[in-house]
Amino acid sequence: MAESHYMTQEGLEKLKKDLEDSLAQRPVISAAIAEAREKGDLSENAEYDAAREAQALLELKIAKLKNLVANAKVIDESQIGTDKVQMMNKVKVENLTAKMMMEFTIVGEAEADFSAGKLAATTPIAKALIGHGKGEIVEAHVPSGVMKLKIVDITL
């Protein structure tokens, strides 16, 4: 059974666009392979090898994107509450260990982008927060040690 990938409608649309763009690259790479093939001896043809490698990477990307799209489960944002931390919540926490405030939205792995404040639900921090409410202190076991976090606010 395939693993479900939870995401927003916006995230699904982005994945579909990435897939469409990747599929559009197939003819470009095929043409590059054909052009390199015409240059003679394939055993010593760096252009041919590079084009074949690009094709293999593209096919891998397409397979991954098709899997994500096929197994996407769009989360109905109207069903999300703010009493306990869950997927799609924006969470403001006080990092008691580093004495700083942090804010992020908990999303599915396919939409995670730490620089944009989108934290994958599969990360140690998100796992520690999910299911807990405002005011609670939780411990997240991260690679650098244990992080104590106080949940300050939960919003949509």
Q: What is the pLDDT of residue 1?
A: 54
Q: In this predicted model, what pLDDT tens digit does every residue of 5-44 receive, in sequence order?
A: 888 888 899 999 999 999 999 999 999 888 888 877 777 7
The closest of 21, 117, 18, 115 to 68, measured between CA atoms, is: 18
Phi, psi of 81 (to 5 degrees): -100, 175
Does the pLDDT at position 60 exceed 90? yes
Residue-wise pLDDT tens digits, 102-142: 999 999 888 899 899 999 999 999 999 999 999 999 999 99
Quickly tell me which residue has 């599929």 as its tokens.
23
| pLDDT for 27 | 95
Is 118 buried (19+), middle (13-18) or exposed (0-12) by CB count in 10 A? middle
With CA atoms as reference, report the closest residue to 75 among 19, 4, 153, 131.
4
Distances (CA, A) of 62 to 6, 7, 67: 19, 19, 9
Residue 142: CB atoms within 10 Å: 13
Tokens of 145: 């040690």
pLDDT-wise least confident of 18-32, 42-56, 62-76, 133-147 = 42-56
pLDDT band at 85 (very low <50, low <70, confident <90, very high): very high
Bridge partners of 118, per DSSP, are 105, 113
- Contact assessment for residue 95 and residue 152, using Cβ atoms and an 8 Å cutoff: no
Helix axes 9-37, 46-70, angle to 10 degrees: 160
Q: Which residues contact 31 (CB under 8 A, 6 or more apart)?
A: none
The two tokens of residue 68 are: 């994500």
